[in-house]
Amino acid sequence: MPDEVPAPAEPRRHPLGEITVEAVGGSVVGNRYPANFDVLHVDPALPFAAVADGMGAGEGSRRAGTTAMGTLVAQVRAAWPDVGPRQLRAAAAGVQSAVRAAGAGLAELTGCTLTALLVEPDGGQGWLLQLGDSRAYRLRDGLLELMTVDHTAAWLGVLHGWYPADSPAAARARYQLTRYMGHPGEPEADLLAVSLRPGDVWLLCTDGVSDQVDYHLTRELLAAPRPEEAVRDLLGATLEAGGDDNATAVIVRVHAATPH
């Protein structure tokens, strides 16, 4: 039987200049794996959230996810409030090195995806950091957009017309990651500057969410009055779809700053 969705925690709220952001996350194991190899972080003190998804169901997967998240959190906190492209690229490189070191003694793949959103202290700029096939979406004025690129052979194949998106070949290629934390070539993460406007809703999620909950339902659920309701309902939708993967979602909502 599918596991139940635990009640999400209260959202973390961060006043930042002319905006306030609130963030909340949750995760479910699903039916496929014996444990949860996803890792999420919603920072209690900083406007910063991230999700990671281990590759496989072994010790390498567990170690990669926990090492990647712990290293990224430590790097961001150490750099704050001086956070920008230089610091975030250095942080991503540090995560790569840490995951590679964590897997050095294991005779199995040690790798994970990593997707993070960090807002600068004045609220004027946000940064997405992306490696792998976890995703970041933005709901703005009723339009839900995928803001990140999947680093998979499937993404390349569908984009360049090698095979149809719903073909068996595309399904197989979904599991062929071209970039990830722990990759022997230590590839760089994508880094994207984004704006944040009152009314925006951001979703960071592992592929257990994006593969099981379709676009229209995701857009509908993100419009829930409270972000913790949206997290609960998104994770519930993954279980109703079969719970075929660990599923993790973090929602970040942007509000106008409360007048003093």
Answer yes or no: is 82 within a domain.
Answer: yes
Mean pLDDT over 116-128 rounds to 97
For the chain, where are the E strands, in sequence order? Answer: 12-16, 19-28, 38-42, 48-54, 112-119, 126-131, 135-140, 143-146, 190-194, 201-205, 247-256
Q: What is the residue range of 85's domain?
A: 12-131+179-254
Tokens of 170: 């595309």
Give the strand pairing for 201-205 and 135-140: antiparallel
Contact 150, 165 (CB under 8 A): no
Answer yes or no: is 140 within a domain.
Answer: no
Query: Is residue 260 scored above 60 in pLDDT?
Result: no
Answer yes or no: is 173 within a domain.
Answer: no
Tokens of 48: 């910063």
| Total of domains in the chain | 1
pLDDT single digits (tens) 183-199: 999 999 999 999 999 99
Answer yes or no: is 116 within a domain.
Answer: yes
- Type of residue found at 102: A
Answer yes or no: is 40 within a domain.
Answer: yes
Rounded CA-CA distance 112/212 in Å is 19
- The pTM of the whole model exceeds 0.75: yes
What is each CA distance from 128 to 64, 95, 199, 242, in whole angstroms?
Answer: 20, 15, 18, 30
Mean pLDDT over 201-208 rounds to 98
Query: Is residue 76 scored above 60 in pLDDT?
Result: yes
What is each CA distance from 38 to 205, 251, 259, in whole angstroms?
Answer: 10, 16, 38
Query: Is residue 3 scored above 80 in pLDDT?
Result: no
Q: CATH number of the domain that 127 lies in?
A: 3.60.40.10
Averaged pLDDT of the chain: 95
Answer yes or no: is 163 within a domain.
Answer: no
